[in-house]
């Protein structure tokens, strides 16, 4: 399985047949249950992550439950994936909640909400141990969506992204045409930016043509695959616009309920196992590709100035409080998150040593 997961031939524009072949063991398809899961990714590391989750399910079930991964747009457009799962057109989907937050801005709180001093690891802790999953299920009931969802793969904070020049002060952000998605769009609008929401594959051409001045996607590996180093040499890491995120695997509720208890448990536990597999594997890939951007591609890499990040936090306060006043459920979820973050981060902040101090001691 490890050899399958490391294949690089899926990095760009993977064909549906190729993705399915990676995710599906060589067994007779009529010997068990097959779920067709469309991913929001046409290639690259995120499609590999979707295939990794499917491979875990397939292996853990001994082939009695197969998840067949379909590439982006194989059946429906990304914006239609949740509705397709709801209706049973798709059995499952692999994406992020920010892709459907238009139905409810509370969706962004499940991965791309305000930063209460926590990382993706702690937000997933809230999902698993702090009542987050129950609140998400309540949201699905309110929206009358016939789906169940599992969350996995805690992502590092997303870079602020690619600019035409180095950003040294928050004032430089004003008026810039910038690509992002989800609730972060509202936050950056509050900061005075002009926000354009584009799918990942359109980011590089849009910046090349001048449609946008700056952009973010998610990580150094995906950014390099998109060719962002060919349209900009100024890359800023660290940001609060999307400082925590993870994948959502959503499954048609009727299809899920029809599974055996063993298969339900396999999906749940494969999702939890993917948390570790994703973090270890992707963090190494991101680190390697950041060095390639610097050493091979001549990209200037900066840490985003504190003034920009402070302005982001102030904008988050305005946006989140405004939405909370209009949406009681949004307020309910946010208060649950704040209570969890205040408790857990109090312990972690007191207990964790300054790892940067140790890093500088050895590496300068």
Spatial separation of the C-alpha atoms in residues 159 and 155, rounded to whole Å: 11
Whole-number mean pLDDT of the chain?
Answer: 90
| Residue 240 predicted with pLDDT over 90 | yes
Query: Between vectors from CA 93 to CA 70 and to CA 217, what angle results, nearest 5°?
Result: 90
Domain borders along the chain are 2-155+244-286
Spatial separation of the C-alpha atoms in residues 305 and 214, rounded to whole Å: 16
Task: Find the helix or strand (DSSP H, E) in which 257 lies.
Answer: helix 253-257
How big is the chain, counted in residues?
364
End-to-end CA distance of the chain: 38
**Radius of gyration for the alpha carbons in the chain, expressed in angstroms and rounded:** 20
Distance of CA 237 to the CA centre of its chain: 16
Distance of CA 113 to the CA centre of its chain: 12
**248 pairs with which residues across the strands?**
95, 151
| Residue 237 predicted with pLDDT over 60 | yes
Residues of the chain with pLDDT > 70, as a percent, come to 91
What pLDDT is stored for residue 181 in this prediction?
80
Among 87, 238, 212, 99, smallest CA distance to 159 is for 238
| Residue 361 predicted with pLDDT over 90 | yes
Distance of CA 257 to the CA centre of its chain: 26
What pLDDT is stored for residue 7 in this prediction?
33
Spatial separation of the C-alpha atoms in residues 271 and 254, rounded to whole Å: 19
| Residue 3 predicted with pLDDT over 50 | no
Instruction: Decide: helix, strand or coil at residue 319.
Output: helix
| Residue 18 predicted with pLDDT over 90 | no
Q: Residues 69-74: what's their mean pLDDT? A: 95
What pLDDT is stored for residue 5 in this prediction?
38
Instruction: Decide: helix, strand or coil at residue 217.
Output: coil
Q: Residues 327-333: what's their mean pLDDT? A: 97
| Residue 6 predicted with pLDDT over 80 | no
Do the Cβ atoms of 245 and 120 come closer than 8 Å? yes
pLDDT in tens, 170-222: 999 999 999 988 788 899 999 999 998 887 778 889 999 999 999 998 999 99
| Residue 22 predicted with pLDDT over 80 | no
pLDDT in tens, 339-358: 999 999 999 999 999 999 99
CA distances from 320 to 100, 157, 334 (A): 18, 19, 9
| Residue 65 predicted with pLDDT over 90 | yes
> 2-155+244-286: which CATH architecture?
3-Layer(aba) Sandwich (3.40)
Spatial separation of the C-alpha atoms in residues 35 and 86, rounded to whole Å: 14
Position with higher pLDDT, 8 vs 131:
131
């Amino acid at each position: 399985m490890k050899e399958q997961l490391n294949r690089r031939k899926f990095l760009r524009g993977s064909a549906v047949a190729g993705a399915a072949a990676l995710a599906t063991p060589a067994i007779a398809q009529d010997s068990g249950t097959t779920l067709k899961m469309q991913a929001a990714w046409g290639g690259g590391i995120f499609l590999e992550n979707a295939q990794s989750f499917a491979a875990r399910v397939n292996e853990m079930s001994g082939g009695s439950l197969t998840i067949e991964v379909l590439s982006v747009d194989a059946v429906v457009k990304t914006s239609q994936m949740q509705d397709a799962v709801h209706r049973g057109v798709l059995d499952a989907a692999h994406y992020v909640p920010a892709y459907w937050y238009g139905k409810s801005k509370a969706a962004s709180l499940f991965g791309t909400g305000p930063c209460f001093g926590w990382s993706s690891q702690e937000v997933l802790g809230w999902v698993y141990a702090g009542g987050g999953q129950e609140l998400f299920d309540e949201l699905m009931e309110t929206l009358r969506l016939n789906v169940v969802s599992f969350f996995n793969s805690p992502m590092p904070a997303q870079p602020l992204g690619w600019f035409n020049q180095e950003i040294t002060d928050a004032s430089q952000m004003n008026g810039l045409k910038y690509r992002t998605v989800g609730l972060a769009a509202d936050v950056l609008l509050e900061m005075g930016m002009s926000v354009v929401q584009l799918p990942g594959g359109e980011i590089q051409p849009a910046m090349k043509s001048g449609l946008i001045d700056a952009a973010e996607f998610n990580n150094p590996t995906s950014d390099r695959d998109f060719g962002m180093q060919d349209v900009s040499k100024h890359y800023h890491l660290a940001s609060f616009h999307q400082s925590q995120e993870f994948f959502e695997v959503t499954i048609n509720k009727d299809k899920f309920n029809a599974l055996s208890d063993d298969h339900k448990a396999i999906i749940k536990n494969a999702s939890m196992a993917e948390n570790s597999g994703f973090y270890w594997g992707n963090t190494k890939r991101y680190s390697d590709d950041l060095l390639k951007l610097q050493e091979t591609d001549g990209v200037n890499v900066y840490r985003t100035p504190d003034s920009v990040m402070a302005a982001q936090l102030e904008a988050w306060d305005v946006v989140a409080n405004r939405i909370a006043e209009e949406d009681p459920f949004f307020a309910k979820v946010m208060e649950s998150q704040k209570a969890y973050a205040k408790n857990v981060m109090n312990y972690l902040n007191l207990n964790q040593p300054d790892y940067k101090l140790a890093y500088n001691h050895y590496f300068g």
